[in-house]
Amino acid sequence: MNSYKFNNYLKLYRRRTSLSQKELVFLFGSHNPAKISRYENMSRAPSLEALLCYSIIFSVPLQSLFMDQCREVKKQVKEKALALLDNLSSKPSSPVTARKITFLEELINQLETII
């Protein structure tokens, strides 16, 4: 995946709750508010645990916190799914291949509606 920076909505959600970085990091079970600042400024990628904390504290799915990244990942998955579908379509037919093709077609259709 690409490593360029995207916007995130961490600061927006934190400000909506009126929590300070110090208060939020306390809810995370940590002591360093600079960690929250680095997450909000995208100078450090949040850990899975931190992402789950954000999602739980703000009661929002991760996609809402990182809409730009989510959109880009969905685009990349769709491109790869199309390539895999093309590859599988040229293979001899079997029940397993048919299930894979059905799955990929459904995945591609789903991604088209949300990209």
Phi, psi of 54 (to 5 degrees): -55, -50
Which residues neighbour 64 within 8 Å (Cβ) at sequence distance 6 or greater?
A: 9
Write down the pLDDT at residue 7: 78
Write down the pLDDT at residue 113: 79
Distance, CA of 43 to CA of 110 (rounded, Å): 32
Write down the pLDDT at residue 5: 54
Which residues neighbour 36 within 8 Å (Cβ) at sequence distance 6 or greater?
A: 10, 14, 21, 24, 25, 28
Task: List per-residue pLDDT tens for the chain, 115 residues long.
Answer: 444 455 789 999 999 999 999 999 999 999 999 999 999 998 998 999 999 999 999 999 999 998 888 999 999 999 999 999 999 999 899 999 999 999 999 999 999 877 5
**Long-range contacts, stretch 43-52, CB < 8 angstroms, 24+ apart:** 46/10
| Cα–Cα distance list, 88 to 77, 96, 109, 112, 113 (Å) | 16, 10, 17, 20, 23
Residue type, 110: Q
Phi, psi of 85 (to 5 degrees): -60, -45
Residue 49 CA from chain centroid, whole number: 14
Residue 60 CA from chain centroid, whole number: 12
Write down the pLDDT at residue 1: 44
